[in-house]
Structure 1
Amino acid sequence: MVASCVFCEIVTGRAPADIVREWGDVIAIRPLDPVTPGHVLVIPHTHVPDVGRDPGVSARTMACAAELAAELPAVNVITSKGHAATQTVAHLHLHIVPRTAGDNLPLPWTPQQHTAG
C-alpha cells in the first residue's frame, strides 16, 4: 500500500467509497463523477501503478471486471497507462462503463471526437 494513494486508502477502508462488489483481492466502487449510470471502477487491493506493471494483478482485476461486464448488455471496459493515455491515478483501475444507444458519450476514437471543429 502507498500512503499517498487514494485507491490504497479506499481498499484498506481508511477512505470512504460507495462499494458495489468485493472479491478477496479486488473491489468495485462507484466513481465520484460517473460518466454513465452504473459506471464503476474495479481496483485491486495490491498497489500496482498501471496495467503494464504486474500482469498477474492486471489479469485478476480484468477477471473481476469481466464478471461485472457480463451482467450488462453493452459496456466499455477501459484502463489507461500513463499520463498521455489519460491516467490520473497511479493505481491500476478499470472503468466499467455501461452504454446505451444514443447516450452520446464520446470516446477518443469515436466519430464524435473527429467531427468537432
Structure 2
Amino acid sequence: MTDCLFCKMVKGEINPDTVYEDDDVLAFRDINPQAPTHVLVIPKQHVSTLNDLDDSNAHLVGKMMLAAAAIARQEGFDQQGYRTVMNCNADGGQTVFHLHLHLLGGRPMHWPPG
C-alpha cells in the first residue's frame, strides 16, 4: 500500500515515537492519546481490517497481543491493568485502514467504553 500511513512508518518514511519493534510488529505512541499511555501496535505486513485476516496471517494478532503485554510491563502498568481495542471499519471507529491494536493504560478504564 503506497499511500498507507502505517506502511510508511514500517518502511521508515515516517518516524513515529516507537516504543517496541520486532520482526513482525511495530508499536508507537498515538498522536491523539486517550489515556496517559496510548500506544498503537501494528503488524508490519499490511492487512486492512480484521475482516481481511486469513489463515496465512492470523498469527499476527497473537504477535500484536504479546507485544501489547510486553509494552504494558515496560510502561509499568501491567499489574494495575490496561485495555486493548481493535476497531473494524468506519462504524467500528477505524480511521486508518491498516490493522492496529490500541493499548491504553495508566488510568482506570470504565465500562461501557462508548
The number of equivalent residue pairs is 106
- Runs of 5+ consecutive residues of structure 2 not aligned to the other structure: none
Aligned-CA RMSD value: 2.1
* Structure 1 position 69, deviation (Å): 3.5
Distance in structure 1 (CA, Å) of the matches to 2:33 and 2:112: 14
Whether the 8 Å contact between 1:26 and 1:42 is mirrored in structure 2 is yes
**Which sits farther off after the overlay, 71-80 or 10-19?**
71-80
Aligned twin of 1:62 = 65
Aligned twin of 1:80 = 87
Percent of aligned pairs with the same amino acid: 33
Aligned twin of 1:114 = none
What secondary structure is seen at the aligned counterpart in 1 of 2:12?
coil
Aligned twin of 2:104 = 97
* Structure 1 position 35, deviation (Å): 1.0
Distance in structure 1 (CA, Å) of the matches to 2:21 and 2:84: 18
- Runs of 5+ consecutive residues of structure 1 not aligned to the other structure: 109-117
What letter matches 2:60 in structure 1? V
Q: Give the TM-score normalised by structure 1.
A: 0.79
* Structure 1 position 25, deviation (Å): 1.4
